[in-house]
Amino acid sequence: MFSKKMNKALLSAVLGTVLLVTGCGGNSAPSDNNNGGAAAPAPSDEKKVLNIGLKADPPSMDPTISTSLYDRQVYASLYDKLFDISPDGKIVPMLVDTYEVSPDGKTYTFKLKTGIKFHDGTDFNAEAVKFNFDRNMTTEKSKRKGDLKFVESVSVVDNDTVTVQLTEPFAPFLSVLTDRAGMMVSPTAAKEKGDDFLNAPVGTGPFVFVKQVKGDSVSLKKNENYWNGEVKLDEVNYKVFTNGTAKVQNLRSGMLDIIDDTPTKEIPAVEGDSNLQLIAESGMGHQGLHLNNSAAPFDNKYLRAAVDRAIDREALVKVLFNGYAAPARTAFAKGNLAYNEELNKPVAPNADEIKELLAKGGKPNGFEFKLLISTSPENEQLGAVLQNMLKQHNINVVLEKVEYGQMLEAGSKGDFQAMQLGWSGRQDPDGNVHDFVVTGNGNNYGRISVPQLDELILKARSEQDESKRKALYDEVIKVSQDEAVYAYLYHQYVLIGMNKKVTGFTYVPDGLIRTATLDKQ
């Protein structure tokens, strides 16, 4: 239950957090005003420039090595994929024209769309598709190896036809190709640039890379030869604002046209501005705590469980998000095949249970750990609330603020005790657990290694029957909760703020802002 005592303590933690009012990357926040300060319409002969505000700096422009949602927001303009997700959440062909799957589920034949060019003028064809599969599977730093684990071979049948042979049936295969594993980069550019491709990316998308100023912005220009209809905008700029209040103020002033993640406390300002609209949809992702299972103190499952049980998720969501999030105890949001309402129900902290767990973990008097959090005020508030909750059970949390890119680096190296990171979510259940939980995978920052979990997740990957897959994921949830491998916090909502002068927007459940159809009046 959300007690008055807890309510007061949590609100004190939130209100005690310092809120900055400036954006990152040299963008000063304009003063607030009641009218939103929207600029007058641009003359028709001026360029149509769309400015999108992002919560964090995109670390990499190379989809093979990317692990960031903020990369993916830019990729939605730079790269096309073999498959995409439709507004109703279904998988649909994109660069693929038609496809066939063999009765045994192990052979996929893709007939490709023709006449498509990469931004460097080279052809998109079957050889390019094979190159991209091979690159994703063999590049040393590739984060796509887990996605394509069951790919045995890729064969070019003719200029427009590719056959992919799997070692065994893999139910999420097409879903995987709606994300970074299905994004097509120019083979010519990738070979020429090598490791520097991330600084000079080339795809087939509606916009062409111009430059990236780290910590500030990514600039793109119109692809004059886009294959999938005329692009109406001349330029798209992604601007970094780690401070949500500053980002909303820039949206209201007209300096930004769209923002990716509207802070819940700023929703009244957006909804009250006649020039703006708010797109609020329940998302597929989650936020949580990666606990380093391979290092003290979280190599001890009882101490992991103590932290997990000490978090009052209902209180957290009520205090921080005012209903624009849902408590989470699993990786699967409502609407996902693997969602289990009963197993996802929040459990109120029980002081006696937590004391028992601490005693079993050899820390009857409590313990201390360091939690990495990113530098946005919203995340600092989250950190403060968690710190307050755990302190009530003699668990002392030392907060360390780091830049988003540094957080990912620490995760890759395993150089942390705990860190707060989320996942934007995927349409197939596998995309929400495999890379994070199976031993040795790229996003398994917590160094989780539970043989039973590995077995269940791998079995669910190859199961074609939905009801049987669902039952397997129920077991995945139960084992994950018993081992307390990861502390899920909440399922976030997608909260996109947008100027009403922007037209052509369609919401897609992955939460990515697709710019190919956008226009600006």
User: Is residue 155 a part of any domain in this protein?
Assistant: yes
Beta carbons within 8 Å of 149's beta carbon, 6+ residues apart: none
Q: Does some domain include residue 205?
A: no
Q: Name the residue with higher pLDDT: 272 or 69.
A: 272
What pLDDT, on the 0 to 100 scale, is given for residue 464?
87
Contact predicate 501/257, CB 8 Å: yes
User: If DSSP codes are grouped into helix, strand and coil, which group holds residue 29?
Assistant: coil
Can you give 228-241 as a three-state secondary structure string? CCCCCCCEEEEEEC
pLDDT digits (tens, 9 = 90+) for 161-201: 999 999 999 999 999 999 999 999 999 999 999 999 999 99
- Summarize pLDDT for 85-105 with one digit per residue, the tens: 999 889 999 999 999 999 999
Mean pLDDT of all residues in 275-296: 95
Helix H or strand E encompassing 281: strand 276-282
In this prediction, residue 27 has a pLDDT band, given cuts at 50, 70 and 90, of very low
Element of type H or E holding 305: helix 301-309
Cβ atoms 81, 179 nearer than 8 A:
yes
Chosen domain end from 162, 186, 210:
186
pLDDT in tens, 329-347: 999 999 899 999 999 999 9
The answer to the question of residue 268 being in a domain is no
Check whether residue 290 and residue 172 sit in a common domain: no
Query: In the structure, what pLDDT confidence band is assigned to residue 34 with cuts at 50, 70 and 90?
Result: very low
Domain final position from 157, 186, 215: 186
Chosen domain end from 186, 210, 228 = 186
Place 453 in a pLDDT band, splitting at 50, 70 and 90. very high
User: What confidence tens digit (pLDDT) does each residue in 3-14 have?
Assistant: 434 444 444 444
Burial zone of 277 (CB within 10 Å; 0-12 exposed, 13-18 middle, 19+ buried)? middle
Higher local confidence (pLDDT), 255 or 11:
255
The contacts of residue 200 (CB under 8 Å, 6+ apart) are 189, 193, 209
Largest CA distance in the chain: 72
Instruction: Clarify whether residues 315 and 435 are in a common domain.
Output: yes
Do residue 334 and residue 435 come from a single domain? yes
Q: What mean pLDDT value characterizes the chain? A: 91
Number of structural domains in the chain: 2
Give yes or no: residues 296 and 418 share one domain.
yes
What is the tens place of the pLDDT at every residue in 376-406? 888 999 999 999 999 999 999 999 999 988 9
| Long-range contacts of 293-298, Cβ-Cβ distance < 8 Å, separation of 24 or more | 293/446, 293/447, 293/448, 293/449, 293/485, 294/414, 294/447, 294/449, 295/414, 295/417, 295/447, 296/417, 297/361, 297/363, 297/367, 297/369, 297/417, 298/369, 298/417, 298/418, 298/446
Q: Are residues 92 and 9 in the same domain?
A: no
Query: For position 408, which CATH number holds?
Result: 3.10.105.10
What's the chain's Rg over C-alpha atoms? 23
CATH number at residue 136: 3.90.76.10
pLDDT band at 30 (very low <50, low <70, confident <90, very high): very low
Cα–Cα distance, 204 to 184 (Å, whole number): 7
Owning domain of residue 138: 80-186
pLDDT at residue number 322: 84
The pLDDT-based confidence of 44 (bands split at 50, 70, 90) is: low
Whether 445 and 311 map to the same domain: the answer is yes
Cα–Cα distance between 255 and 124 in angstroms, integer?
A: 36
Residue 218 CA to residue 71 CA, distance in Å, equals 10
CA 80 to CA 462: how far, in whole Å?
Answer: 27
Residue 112 in any domain: the answer is: yes
Task: Tell whether 379 is covered by a domain.
Answer: yes
Asked if 140 contacts 26 with a C-beta cutoff of 8 angstroms, the reply is no
In a domain, 428, yes or no: yes
With respect to residue 279, please indicate whether it lies within any of the assigned structural domains.
Answer: no
Helix (H, G, I), strand (E, B) or coil at 11: helix
Residues 165 and 308 in one domain: no
Which residues are bridge partners to 486 per DSSP?
290
- Structural domain contains residue 221: no
pLDDT value, residue 236: 99
Confidence of residue 24 (pLDDT cuts 50, 70, 90): very low
